Amino acid sequence: MKKLITILMALFIFSMSAGATIVDDMKSEVDEYNANSDAIPSSLKDMLGNERIHVIIDMNNGSALNLTVVTVDGKIVEFAEMEESEEFEPTLVVSTDEGTARSIMDSASPAQVFLDAYDRGDIEITSPSFTKKVSLTVGKFVLKVSQWLGFY
């Protein structure tokens, strides 16, 4: 019985640290992202430039990681793990899985990996606002045309 409790505790701690690790990894990327925000494609910056974003990452262990991200002029000004009781009114909701999030962070060209994942449907961007939904639809079309013309 003691071994079972020890194993369960180890699994619990491991599952918590997996989420903490990806959050820590993402936090370390925020400064680098902000320093290179001028290299972000303008169509993507227009879509995500001034937003309150709820990011949902389906973790490999079956849990969901909820993050809050606030952007101003394409730069991330706030980034945190969402508290359970926190009220956050997002303008966008971005959903993906841990593998996609890690592939973006580990890439030498994260903007391209993001665009490819978005194009494949591995990243879903939605909004509670009707006008924002229209803007997202137009933005996705612009991204498709830009990729087709070889801009990205």
- For each of the chain's 152 residues, which pLDDT tens digit applies? 333 333 334 333 333 334 457 888 888 888 887 887 787 767 667 666 788 889 999 999 999 999 999 988 888 899 999 988 788 899 888 899 999 999 988 888 877 788 788 889 999 888 876 566 555 555 565 555 555 555 55
pLDDT at 26 (0 to 100): 86
Q: Residues 40, 74: contact at Cβ < 8 Å?
A: yes
Cβ-based burial of 10 (10 A; exposed 0-12, middle 13-18, buried ≥19): exposed
Q: What is the pTM of this model?
A: 0.71
pLDDT at 121 (0 to 100): 92
pLDDT at 29 (0 to 100): 81
pLDDT at 17 (0 to 100): 37
Q: Residues 116, 37: contact at Cβ < 8 Å?
A: no
135 DSSP assignment: H
* Token pair in block for residue 85: 């009781």
Q: What domains lie within the chain, and their CATH numbers?
A: 2-148 (3.30.1050.10)
Strands 52-58 and 64-72: antiparallel
